[in-house]
Amino acid sequence: MRGISCNSNLLSHLPVEEAIDALAEFGYDGIDVCLELAPPFYPVPTPHMSPDDDAKKRDQVRKRAESAGMAITALNAHTNLSARDPDARQENVDFVAGSLQLAADLGCSLVVTGAGGKDAYGYEQWFFDWGIDSLQQLAPIAERLGITLAIECGSPLGCLVHGIESSHKVLSAEGLESIELLFDTGHFTIRGGPPVKAFETFKGRIAHVHVKDAVGDAENIAFPPFGEGEVDFDSIFATMAAAGYDGYIAVEYEAFAWDFPRDHKVVLPKEKAFLEPLIAKHWK
């Protein structure tokens, strides 16, 4: 296991350079940089970077991470790749394509996105066809740039990819052999699980791991701080270690959307302290 990273959305009140410094200060090994424009929770974090950032900004961020000893472990670029409107869908494809180039310029090897969601009125297979077509456009761009593109399952209703069956449907599509999976402990616990079975099923194609606690179901979700939900981290980490997972584990603290504490000076050390004994236990 390479180390502990953190989704930068918790630090959206800081410029990305200061977010890097804050994570380094609290002993994190990497940062997952948030690019997302409209995540499905409130308050909406301000994206830390954009595919529109110029070469000067890219170079500045890359050098700041290097000087802080921080890896840029992933770019989170979720958007709706299965949008019904073809113009909106193409705009979203272009956003992910730009994120892939941004990753290459930052020295980051991974971009995480989602397949998107279906409308309440709509035949599900149409949305799968649109999402797969979008990914088929993006896969050769990622391969040319040497970037891994990973799909994340989501647990809320409407998420097209939300569990083992739907993940397999996308990952087994023609032309998507290079696409990998982002494993999220919270989402798989809520709707995609059981999470241990999910990890074992896709262990050969899991590029990155988000860790967060979770409670509820697809219609009634909360992602509280570690230890206040229903995720069985001990069993999941045992499975990950036994499978030889050697990537980063990224804290994804979205608890602020449910009015849990959001002061990063309190949250960052507390979340890390929860993970460290589990990591020490399973990755000896």
Looking at residue 121, what is its pLDDT?
A: 86
In 3D, which of 30, 71, 25, 77 has the Cα closest to residue 53? 77
Residues 37, 25: Cα–Cα separation, whole Å: 27
131, 81 Cβ separation under 8 angstroms: yes
- To 5 degrees, how large is the angle CA 74–CA 234–CA 204? 50
Looking at residue 201, what is its pLDDT?
A: 96
Residues 210, 112: Cα–Cα separation, whole Å: 11
Tokens for 166?
A: 């739907």
Q: Give residue limits of the domains in the chain.
A: 3-282
Q: Which homologous superfamily does the CATH classification assign to the domain defined by 3-282?
A: Divalent-metal-dependent TIM barrel enzymes (3.20.20.150)
Residues 178, 151: Cα–Cα separation, whole Å: 11
Looking at residue 39, what is its pLDDT?
A: 86
Looking at residue 162, what is its pLDDT?
A: 93
What is the DSSP pairing of strand 30-34 with strand 206-211? unpaired
Average pLDDT by stretches of 10, the chain with 284 residues? 96 98 98 92 92 98 98 97 96 98 98 91 93 98 98 92 95 97 96 91 97 95 97 98 97 96 97 98 93
Beta-carbon contacts of 180 under 8 Å, excluding residues fewer than 6 positions away, are 148, 149, 150, 151, 205, 206, 207
Residues 117, 151: Cα–Cα separation, whole Å: 13
